[in-house]
Amino acid sequence: MVMPTSVEEVQAVVRIASRHRVPLWPFSQGRNNGYGGAGVLTRGAVLVNLSKMNRVLEVDEDCAWALVEPGVRFFDLYDHLHEGDYRLWPSVPDLGWGSVIGNTLEHGLGYTVDGDHPARQCGMEVVLADGSVVRTGMGAMDGNPAWATHKRGFGPSVDGLFMQSDFGIVTKMGVLLQPAPEYFASCQVKVKNFADLAPLVETMRGLILERVVEAAHPVIATPYQSNAIDGLGIDPSQWWQGSGPMPEEDLQRMADNTGIGRWAMRFAFYGDRRVIDLSLEIVRERFAMVHGAVVTSRIFASDDIEHEAKTQPELSMSGIPSMRQLESLKAARGETFGHLDFSAVAPATGAHALRMADLLRPAFERWGIDYDPSFLLTPRGIILVTLVWFDSADEEEVSRAYDLFRELVVEARAAGCGLYRSHIEFHDHVAEQYDWGDHALRRLNSRIKDALDPAGILAPGKYGIWSGSLARDE
Ligand code: ADP
């Protein structure tokens, strides 16, 4: 493993690797365990650990952006903004220990108005496989001050090429931030029955598309998840003691007897108190038409959130990084728990949501593994997120989880659903499902790879992209 501290050192590493044809595997923090962490696909690769390049290089309060290096974690960006008294919020994912750049390059998501992280990237500096450096967008003009304020420059917009790919090593990136709002409202809608998922999705999609709700990615949780998130301490074994997924009728009994809701959706509002109050009124009106829906909210003055926020979603919806989710998972599943994250996409309609919620249950039942799917609205799409759990100390369980995952990819494909991201172990398998035109897109990616990195030294095989001269080392 090498740990460069500057762009010049990254360039030198790439040149040496290129000369000796040694594959490199760059990563920023390597914390993204459900998707493979700092894992590598080929033997004999050198890890390029970018965590020492960890400076927030610039912050602009007026235009609300920051320029960061790859090792900057969400915790670091938050602390930097806090300590510098900038009235700016970052968007953060569930856990704060990952890097802003790694998460963005992987198409990661947060929950504030800036929660679509790839969309809020603005300008990049990238080291290519030949050791040269390129800056994208306005950064392609030397000294241009608009680098991190205007996404596109002149000519093709190439930034997306460096996300979910193996085409370069990103050494700087502009991140768009949210001016700290005066107020923040943490909201929840609970519905009673399984089938209420449909009107829940339909109603929220309407509110988002009309711009009543601006927060990115409302999350729809199950009774299990609500129990953990809200720290309710309910023991599910009162309703079900078997192994594998809890049957739907027992889950429904658990929801009914606890009042926890069969589905609970979390989202937020930001800004002027009057606008928040009015928006909430509209939300209540709309959900009054959904049988049994209950809307609740907690409103905080921006400066009080850190002390008054009670739950992990309240923190992440207000751009405060934490490790709470990992702590609660460890408490529930033990220190050696592991997970593979399965994230499949469908249009945001009630019919698709119901179909997705049921689609994978039989496979989990067959393999005897817990099934506990949640949904994110994106807003015209829904992402079904379900974690495949295992105990990493139990080899048989690990191998069962991996076998199940492989099957889930195929079952989702058969239902017309693709994964938006996956653990590296399955990149070839997932890419295989994107088969339109006899895998025309994968062939285009390979041609770009061959042009930029003919020896295939940068992260070979990531996202199913190999240079022509290489195949996977099984
Ligand atoms: P996190 O910071 O969330 O822990 P990683 O650093 O592991 O995430 O990044 C996730 C993936 O994104 C890595 O496995 C790697 O493939 C890619 N990646 C991360 N940082 C860079 C970078 N600076 N340049 C190119 N690819 C990167």
Instruction: Please name the residue whose Cα sits nearest to atom 10 of ligand 1.
Output: 102
How does strand 294-301 pair with strand 183-191? antiparallel
Is the beta carbon of 385 within 6 A of some atom in ligand 1? no
Q: Helix 273-287 vs helix 197-209: angle between axes, to the nearest 10 degrees?
A: 140
The band of 471, judged by pLDDT with boundaries at 50, 70 and 90, is low
Q: Which two tokens stand for residue 333?
A: 């599943």
HSE, side-chain direction, 13 A CA sphere, residue 345:
11
Name the pTM for this structure: 0.95
Residue 327, pLDDT > 90, answer no
Give the atom of ligand 1 at the shortest distance from the alpha carbon of 73: 2
Q: Which value, to the nearest 10 degrees, does the dihedral of the CA atoms of residues 129, 133, 139, 142 take? A: -160
Is the beta carbon of 29 within 6 A of some atom in ligand 1? yes
- Most trustworthy range by pLDDT among 10-14, 249-253, 328-332: 10-14
The mean pLDDT of the chain is: 94
Residue 241, pLDDT > 90, answer no
Distance 102 CA to ligand 1 centre (A): 4
Contact 251, 225 (CB under 8 A): no
Is the beta carbon of 71 within 6 A of some atom in ligand 1? no
Q: What is the pLDDT of residue 201?
A: 97
Q: What is the pLDDT of residue 187?
A: 96
Give the atom of ligand 1 at the shortest distance from the alpha carbon of 108: 3
Q: Which CATH class is domain 53-179?
A: alpha beta
Tell me how far apart the alpha carbons of residues 10 and 434 are, in angstroms, rounded to a whole number: 33
Q: What is the pLDDT of residue 59?
A: 98
Is the beta carbon of 100 within 6 A of some atom in ligand 1? no
Is the beta carbon of 28 within 6 A of some atom in ligand 1? yes
The band of 469, judged by pLDDT with boundaries at 50, 70 and 90, is low
Give the atom of ligand 1 at the shortest distance from the alpha carbon of 459: 16
Tell me how far apart the alpha carbons of residues 283 and 259 are, in angstroms, rounded to a whole number: 21
Q: What is the pLDDT of residue 474?
A: 41
pLDDT digits (tens, 9 = 90+) for 72-88: 999 999 999 999 999 99
Give the atom of ligand 1 at the shortest distance from the alpha carbon of 462: 16
Give the atom of ligand 1 at the shortest distance from the alpha carbon of 103: 3
Pocket test for ligand 1, best of 28, 109, 462 (most atoms within 8 A of CB): 28
Instruction: Please name the residue whose Cα sits nearest to atom 15 of ligand 1.
Output: 27
How does strand 337-347 pair with strand 294-301? unpaired
Domain ranges in the chain are 53-179, 183-425
Distance 55 CA to ligand 1 centre (A): 16
Instruction: Please name the residue whose Cα sits nearest to atom 7 of ligand 1.
Output: 30
- From 103-117, 147-161, 304-318, 443-457, the region with the lowest mean pLDDT: 304-318
Contact 158, 137 (CB under 8 A): no
Distance 353 CA to ligand 1 centre (A): 31
Instruction: Please name the residue whose Cα sits nearest to atom 21 of ligand 1.
Output: 27
**Cβ atoms < 10 Å from Cβ of 422:** 24
The band of 470, judged by pLDDT with boundaries at 50, 70 and 90, is low
Q: Which CATH class is domain 183-425?
A: alpha beta
Question: 């762009």: which residue's tokens?
Answer: 7
Question: 């909430």: which residue's tokens?
Answer: 280
Is the beta carbon of 48 within 6 A of some atom in ligand 1? no
Residue 121, pLDDT > 70, answer yes
Tell me how far apart the alpha carbons of residues 264 and 226 are, in angstroms, rounded to a whole number: 7
Q: Which two tokens stand for residue 51?
A: 């965590």
Percent of the chain with pLDDT over 90: 82
Give the residue with greater pLDDT, 180 vs 215: 180
pLDDT digits (tens, 9 = 90+) for 94-108: 999 999 999 999 999
pLDDT digits (tens, 9 = 90+) for 202-238: 999 999 999 999 878 999 999 888 888 887 888 888 8
Distance 62 CA to ligand 1 centre (A): 29
Which are the contacts of 412, defined by CB distance < 8 A and separation ≥ 6?
344, 359, 360, 418, 419, 433
pLDDT digits (tens, 9 = 90+) for 341-357: 999 999 999 999 999 99
Domains 53-179 and 183-425 agree in fold: no
Tell me how far apart the alpha carbons of residues 456 and 471 are, in angstroms, rounded to a whole number: 10
Is the beta carbon of 222 within 6 A of some atom in ligand 1? no
The string of DSSP codes covering 57-71 is EEEETTTTEEEE-TT
